Chain A
Amino acid sequence: AQSVTQLDSHVSVSEGTPVLLRCNYSSSYSPSLFWYVQHPNKGLQLLLKYTSAATLVKGINGFEAEFKKSETSFHLTKPSAHMSDAAEYFCVVSFKRGGSYIPTFGRGTSLIVHP
């Protein structure tokens, strides 16, 4: 079955320390993968996407993610957290359903940044 799993519902870091948000997926092929961020009561904004080019993808606000096919993972990282990074983060995988590719969302990881 095709699925996307975000391994942590909450991640808590101190400002200035590294961030790691984990995402694994289950698929028989290499799908398109995305990370989105959502600030409270807002819509979602694209952070970055992987579409079979370079395996290390750089996004906005200093975030990056590495696609590892052997591990079926697409973890999101940032070297140094900022207070403004506190938000909900979603890993999204486009799976084929019938004749269409439909985005499937993970349950989200809430990033908490302490001063």
Chain B
Amino acid sequence: DGGITQSPKYLFRKEGQNVTLSCEQNLNHDAMYWYRQDPGQGLRLIYYSQIVNDFQKGDIAEGYSVSREKKESFPLTVTSAQKNPTAFYLCASSITGTGYNEQFFGPGTRLTVL
């Protein structure tokens, strides 16, 4: 079955700790994205990657970091510099970043910082 997996589904961390969210896809897609979802604000783009070993900041990249060492994987690290990290995080992929292709989404990770 092709798709996107995110793990874990729920994540709890203490304030000041870095945490890494996993995103893996077996769709052979070039482009991958990370979004943050807060109630009433839609999805806001954190980082995106159009190709392996390359990524760009989205609209709210401060306090986050990513890597794209493999086509299938695009992990997101929420650092202690992120002032309000509690949110629902969604990973997505698309065949390319041309804009004509729909995105496929993972099930999300809900991060709670205590």
Q: Are A107 and B90 in contact (CB under 8 A)?
A: no
Determine the residue in chain B with the shortest Cβ distance to A101: B99
Contact indicator per residue, chain B 30-52, by CB within 8 Å of chain A (1) or not (0): 00010100001111110010100
Given contacts A9-B40, A41-B110, A107-B42, A31 and B102 within 8 Å (CB-CB): no
Given contacts A43-B105, A43-B107, A90 and B42 within 8 Å (CB-CB): yes
Q: Is the interface of A mostly helix, strand, loop or mixed?
A: strand
Interface contact tally, CB-CB below 8 A: 65
How far is the CB of A62 from the nearest CB of chain B, in Å? Answer: 19
Determine the residue in chain B with the shortest Cβ distance to A91: B42
Across the interface, A34 reaches (CB within 8 A) one of B56, B90, B102, namely B102
Q: Name the segment of A12-20, A44-52, A71-79 touching the other chain.
A: A44-52
Contact indicator per residue, chain A 35-78, by CB within 8 Å of chain B (1) or not (0): 01000011111100101000000000000000000000000000
Q: Which of B54-73 contact A (CB under 8 A)?
A: 56, 58
Contacting residues, chain B, for A102 (C-beta < 8 A): 45, 48, 58, 97, 99
How far is the CB of A111 from the nearest CB of chain B, in Å? Answer: 15
Determine the residue in chain A with the shortest Cβ distance to B4: A43
Given contacts A31-B99, A32-B99, A34-B102, A43 and B90 within 8 Å (CB-CB): yes
Cβ of A96 within 8 Å of any chain B Cβ, yes or no, is yes
Q: Name 30 interchain pairs, CB-CB below 8 A, sorted by A.
A: A31-B99, A42-B108, A43-B105, A43-B106, A43-B107, A43-B108, A44-B90, A44-B92, A44-B103, A44-B105, A45-B105, A46-B103, A49-B102, A90-B42, A90-B43, A94-B99, A96-B99, A98-B56, A101-B98, A102-B45, A102-B48, A102-B99, A103-B33, A103-B103, A104-B45, A105-B43, A105-B44, A106-B42, A107-B41, A108-B42
A residues near B (Cβ < 8 Å) are 9, 31-32, 34, 36, 41-46, 49, 51, 90, 94-96, 98, 100-108
